[in-house]
Chain A
């Protein structure tokens, strides 16, 4: 029996049972930096309530794609749609810079690997969270304080330290402040760029637990980029495997790990200790 495992053959014409509508759709995203083609014709679909994991080696384009999802960068070609209750469907890359900033602040949360990117290190932790609420138009001090407190609590941050500055906190605690800031406005989409890289193993497990709990209780849709296959395996429902700016394979997380179809994915999965 011949076995056709070309990408075209693997592209399954799937009959759709549930008619679930995606929250996020990206089509034909390409982006070059000089001669380097960081993303080549990438398509991505994320459904409400799921955790989509993106894996790939350094330079595969996974973080660039995540930055696109956070509207920090725009591609050379391609479109990006989010199905949000209060806005019309349209390519988000067509929005003005200000509109993009507002949309992100309101609907998209992000946690970076490096807390310096996501936090003002010399402002209090509660202030960092409140800043996000200020952008969305909240002005009452009491409301700001209460909601910052609530978000920090949901991120399992010790509230007695809510007025400490991130610079005084440990790495794990800084990630919790980033997380609180990201979820303060109950975003439709939470983006996680290597959120536990650099944390020691026990702290990493605690942060992942918090994320799992948030996903379960608040049904937050997440896109998680990590080069740590263990983290992806624990967290993700579906996985996209990227290499040289392209998606080489995507599927259910257990399928990607147990029955990888692409040679590169097989190599990647078998390299895991």
Chain B
């Protein structure tokens, strides 16, 4: 591709300093790759290779200790590794999404309100936001009788569906996915693949960690192995995934 990448990761390094053990834990070192609009990059590696840590470092829950994450935002180019917190906050609201396998919802808020919240924050009227929220809950297979219930009472899979509906309701420019299919049934997995494929077609760039990359095989453009730091243009064969 000849266009300017949306994201350019250069020599990114993350180390955790653990004071009570007086030690440092190296998560990953000197990771570099480019990501273009509409591209899907798979992160691979053994447990503890730093896949989730890399996503969280780009999202800035973790502070990198070295390197750059150049991101071409709608407001201009910025290094996410060094950006001010207030700018990160804004980009998270407007352009960058992060989906984990866990729903971190406030207690006593109905599922449909949790899903509608990003739309409400974006200034969309309550009725319209709720309509869309119900549409996406339905798409991910959450039964209508649960829409007004509190997700804290839901099963793990149902909570994850609510989480996905909320995370994907508003199109982002860059989407970070940390094992989003972990506890989903087949129907919800299909709905997720459909939604991701649609977002990708609209130019959303995606970086993902998947327990079973086969779930999203059709979407993957490139992969990077964090053990070897080799960037490959094609998905490695399924039997290799089993080995990892």
Bind each other = yes
* Chain B binder among A29-37, A85-93, A108-116, A250-258: A250-258
Given contacts A1-B15, A20-B90, contact A12 B76 (CB under 8 A): no
**How far in angstroms is the closest Cβ of chain B from A173?**
17
B60 surroundings in chain A (CB, below 8 A):
252, 255
What residues of A have a CB within 8 angstroms of the CB of B13 in the complex? 1
**Chain B window 78-89, contacts with chain A (Cβ cutoff 8 Å), 1 for yes, 0 for no:** 110011111111
Neighbouring A residues of B83 by C-beta, 8 Å: 14-15, 17
B154 contacts partner chain A, Cβ-Cβ < 8 Å: no
Could you tell me if B78 and A17 are in contact, using CB atoms closer than 8 angstroms? yes
Q: Is the CB of B61 within 8 A of A18?
A: no
Q: Is the CB of B84 within 8 A of A3?
A: no
Cβ contacts under 8 Å, A14 to chain B: 82-84, 87
Separation of A12 and B81 alpha carbons in the complex (Å): 10
Contact residues in B for A13 (Cβ distance below 8 Å): 82
Q: Give Cα A169–Cα B88 distance, bound, in whole angstroms.
A: 42
* Residues A18 and B86 in contact in the complex (CB < 8 Å), given A252-B60, A259-B16: yes
Question: What does the 1/0 interface line of B41-83 toward A look like (CB < 8 Å)?
Answer: 0000000000000001000111101100000010110110011
Taking a contact as CB atoms under 8 Å apart, the answer to whether A216 and B90 are in contact is no
Does A159 reach chain B (CB closer than 8 Å)? no
The answer to whether A261 and B15 touch across the interface, beta carbons within 8 angstroms, is no
| Chain B residues with CB below 8 A from A251, complex form | 63, 85
B-side contacts of A266, CB under 8 Å: 18-20
Q: How many angstroms between the C-alpha atoms of A209 and B110 in the bound complex?
A: 12
The smallest C-beta distance from B110 to any residue of chain A, in angstroms, reads 11
B49 vs chain A, min Cβ distance (A):
18
User: Is the CB of B232 closer than 8 A to any CB of chain A?
Assistant: no
- The answer to the question of A205 belonging to the interface, with a C-beta cut-off of 8 Å to chain B, is yes
CB-defined contacts of B62 to chain A, threshold 8 Å: 255, 258-259
Report the bound CA distance from A270 to B91 in whole Å.
29
Q: Mark A179-206, 1 if CB is under 8 A from B, else 0.
A: 0000000000000000000000000011
**Bound complex: CA of A205 vs CA of B109, how far in Å?**
10
Do A18 and B82 touch across chains, with their CB atoms under 8 A apart? no
Distance A15 CA – B120 CA, assembled complex (angstroms): 29
Chain B residues with CB under 8 Å of A270's CB are: 20
Task: Tell me the complex Cα distance, A16–B90, Å.
Answer: 12
Q: Are A261 and B87 in contact (CB-based, < 8 A)?
A: no
B89 near A17 with CB under 8 A, answer no
Tell me if A96 counts as interface (CB < 8 A to partner B). no
Chain A stretch 1-35: residues in CB contact (< 8 A) with chain B: 1, 3, 5, 12-18, 20
Q: Total interface residues on B, using CB and 8 Å?
A: 38
A41 at the B interface (CB under 8 A):
no
Q: Are A258 and B61 in contact (CB under 8 A)?
A: yes
Known: A20-B90, A238-B89. A205 touches B75 (CB 8 A): no
Interface contact B82-A216, CB-CB below 8 Å = no
**With contacts A17-B87, A50-B89 known, is A267 near B20, CB below 8 A?**
yes
The reply to whether B90 and A18 contact each other, CB–CB distance below 8 Å, is yes
Distance (whole angstroms) from the CB of A220 to the closest CB of chain B: 14
* Docked-complex contact A3 and B82, CB < 8 angstroms: no
- Chain B positions within 8 Å of A1 at CB level: 13, 15, 29, 65-66
Closest to B108 in A: A205
Q: How far is the CA of A266 from the CA of B63 in the complex (A)?
A: 14
Contacts of B109 in A (CB 8 A): 209
| A61 CB, min distance to chain B CBs, angstroms | 21
Report yes or no: A261 in contact with B75, Cβ–Cβ below 8 A: no
Check B243 for interface membership: any CB of A closer than 8 A. Answer: no
Among B15, B17, B19, B61, contact of A254 (Cβ-Cβ < 8 Å): B61
Contact of B82 among A5, A15, A258, A263 (CB under 8 A): A15
Over the window 108-131 of chain B, the binary record of Cβ atoms lying under 8 Å from chain A Cβ atoms (1 yes, 0 no) is 110000000100110000000000
A209–B108 alpha-carbon span in the complex (Å): 8
CB of B186 within 8 A of chain A?
A: no
Assess whether B107 is interfacial by the CB under 8 Å rule.
yes
B65 CB, nearest partner CB in chain A, Å = 6
Given A15-B79, A17-B78, A17-B87, decide whether A255 and B63 contact each other with a Cβ distance below 8 A: yes
A255 adjacent to B86 (CB under 8 Å): no
- Can you sample 5 A-B contacts with CB below 8 Å? A252-B85, A252-B89, A255-B62, A259-B16, A266-B19
A interface, CB within 8 angstroms of B = 1, 3, 5, 12-18, 20, 47, 50, 205-206, 208-209, 212, 216-217, 234, 237-238, 250-252, 254-255, 258-259, 261, 263, 266-267, 270
Given contacts A3-B15, A17-B76, 12 further A-B contacts (CB under 8 A): A1-B66, A16-B84, A17-B73, A17-B83, A17-B91, A20-B90, A50-B89, A205-B106, A252-B61, A252-B85, A261-B17, A261-B63
